[in-house]
Amino acid sequence: MTENTSRVAIVTGGSRGIGRETAARLGKDHFDVVVVYGGGRAEAEEAVREVELAGGRAIAVQADVSDEQSVSALFDAAEKEFGGIDVVVHAAGIMKLSPLADLDLAVLDEHLKVNVRGTFVVDQQAARRLRNGGAIINFSSSLTLLARPGYSAYAATKGAVNAISLILARELRGRDITVNAVAPGPTATSLFLDGKPQELIDRIAAEPPLERLGQPEDLAELVAFLAGPGRWINGQTIYANGGSAA
């Protein structure tokens, strides 16, 4: 175990997109970061280097967020390397699109396993192991309000994330641990961009008053606030979408 006085964060989905940008942003605040990845070891190692360049220390750990033994081992690795855990950012998730009437129910089951069960599993370990004064930050989606056709499975799972986050915040009374959900709007990551024609991307980007897509750093700044000075924000779903209307 490393002697450590820094705060320690676990970031699931930390090898790509918003999770990766968040890991680097926490590094800038001198967090020690556990970059959690599903399959892309090379990307995770790149994310580790970005955290280190920003000013923090980091390791990469592979885990299946829907598997309780895998997640328990992840938390063990974080505690062994850095001595404890203060912040958990749960950014891992999947999104596959289909009209509800045409949705393969196996795809629905996959969404429920990764996005809902994964949140339960990660939050369960976080609730058991976070040091007092910590923060749990789950990722929801503005699609719970924007209600775009084709997103029923994904949006349904993110509605569950909102409920989990609020209830867990109340269950942790007396621990000085905040629990919030961040609900991004359309953000320029591969999760959003892949498979969409440019015309559709341009149309969605023009919708908010700021007339652009969100960038991963927009969300990373919000997470850093919730992980640090934003101690009076608790049990909330924060819609970070540039003003897109429901």
Write out pLDDT tens, residues 101-151: 999 999 999 999 999 999 999 999 999 999 999 999 999 999 999 999 999
Two tokens at 239? Answer: 């819609």
Residue 181 forms beta bridges with which residues? 138, 237
- Asked whether residue 204 is assigned to any structural domain, the reply reads no
Distance CA 17, CA 38 (A): 13
- Asked whether residue 191 is assigned to any structural domain, the reply reads no
Q: In sequence order, which residues have a C-beta less than 8 Å from that of residue 69 and are 6 or more positions away?
A: none
CB neighbours of residue 180 within 10 Å: 25
Could you give the count of Cα atoms lying within 13 Å of 183 in the half-sphere of its Cβ? 23
Residue-range definition of the domain harbouring residue 136: 8-186+217-239
Residue 3 has pLDDT above 80, yes or no: no
- Asked whether residue 128 is assigned to any structural domain, the reply reads yes
- Asked whether residue 203 is assigned to any structural domain, the reply reads no
- Asked whether residue 197 is assigned to any structural domain, the reply reads no
Share of residues in the chain with pLDDT > 70 (%)? 98
Query: Does residue 54 contact residue 60 with C-beta atoms inside 8 Å?
Result: no
* Active site annotation includes 37: no
Residue 158 has pLDDT above 70, yes or no: yes
CA angle 225, 12, 80 (to 5 degrees): 95
> Can you give the pLDDT at residue 192?
83
> Can you give the pLDDT at residue 212?
94
Distance CA 76, CA 69 (A): 10
- Asked whether residue 200 is assigned to any structural domain, the reply reads no
Per the structure, how many domains does the chain have? 1
Q: What is the CATH number of the domain that holds 149?
A: 3.40.50.720
Q: How many residues does the chain have?
A: 246
> Which one of 61-75, 186-200, 205-219 scores highest in mean pLDDT?
61-75
Query: Does residue 169 contact residue 112 with C-beta atoms inside 8 Å?
Result: no
Q: Please tell me the pTM assigned to this model.
A: 0.94
Residue 195 has pLDDT above 90, yes or no: no
Residue 80 has pLDDT above 80, yes or no: yes
- Asked whether residue 102 is assigned to any structural domain, the reply reads yes
Residue 188 has pLDDT above 50, yes or no: yes
223 DSSP 8-state letter = H
- Asked whether residue 192 is assigned to any structural domain, the reply reads no
